[in-house]
Amino acid sequence: MNILSLFVLIPLLMMLGLWMARSVNQVRGVMVAGSSALLVLAVWLAVDYLRLRALIANLPFPQPEMLYTDSVVWYAPLHICYSVGVDGISVVMLLLSAIIVFTGTFASWKLKPLTKEYFLWYTLLSTGVFGFFISTDLFTMFMFYEVALIPMYLLIGVWGSGRKEYAAMKLTLMLMGGSAFLLIGILGIYYGAGAQTMNVLEIAGLHNIPEGMQRLFFPAVFLGFGVLGALFPFHTWSPDGHASAPTAVSMLHAGVLMKLGGYGCFRVAMYLMPEGLAQWGDFFLILTTVSVVYGAFSAVVQTDLKYINAYSSVSHCGLVLFALLMATRTSCTGAILQMLSHGLMTALFFALIGMIYGRTHTRDVRELNGLMKVMPFLAVGYVIAGLANLGLPGLSGFVAEMTVFVGSFEHPDVFHRACTVIATVSIVVTAVYILRVVGKILYGTCRNPGHLKLTDATWDERFAVICLIVCVAGLGLAPWWVSDTVSFSVEPIVSHFNLP
Per-residue model confidence (pLDDT) at position 12:
92
pLDDT surpassing 90 at residue 492: no
Per-residue model confidence (pLDDT) at position 494:
86
**Structural domain that includes position 20:** 3-56+64-497
List of residues 6+ apart from 207 with CB closer than 8 A: 496
Q: Burial, 24: exposed, middle or buried (Cβ in 10 Å; 0-12, 13-18, 19+)?
A: middle
Average pLDDT over residues 160-189: 88
> Residue 235: in which H helix or E strand, if any?
none
CA distance 264 to 208: 20
Closest by Cα among 179, 39, 171 to 98: 39
Q: Write out pLDDT tens, residues 184-195.
A: 999 999 888 887
Q: Write out pLDDT tens, residues 231-254.
A: 888 888 888 888 888 887 888 888
**Three-state SS for 65?**
coil
Average pLDDT over residues 284-293: 92
CA distance 227 to 173: 11
CA distance 3 to 41: 9
List of residues 6+ apart from 52 with CB closer than 8 A: 67
Q: Name the residue type at position 191.
A: Y
Closest by Cα among 435, 127, 473 to 300: 435
% of the chain exceeding 90 in pLDDT? 28
CA distance 476 to 219: 34
pLDDT surpassing 70 at residue 498: no
Biggest alpha carbon distance in the chain? 71
Binned at pLDDT 50, 70 and 90, residue 40 comes out as very high
Binned at pLDDT 50, 70 and 90, residue 320 comes out as very high
pLDDT surpassing 60 at residue 500: no
Per-residue model confidence (pLDDT) at position 64:
79
Alpha helices in 304-413 (DSSP H): 305-326, 329-360, 371-374, 376-389, 396-408
Highest mean pLDDT among 63-72, 190-199, 217-226: 217-226
Q: Burial, 203: exposed, middle or buried (Cβ in 10 Å; 0-12, 13-18, 19+)?
A: buried
Q: Which residue has the higher pLDDT, 448 or 425?
A: 425
How many structural domains compose the chain? 1
Read off the pTM. 0.91
Per-residue model confidence (pLDDT) at position 364:
84
CA distance 30 to 138: 32
Mean pLDDT taken over the chain: 87
pLDDT surpassing 60 at residue 307: yes
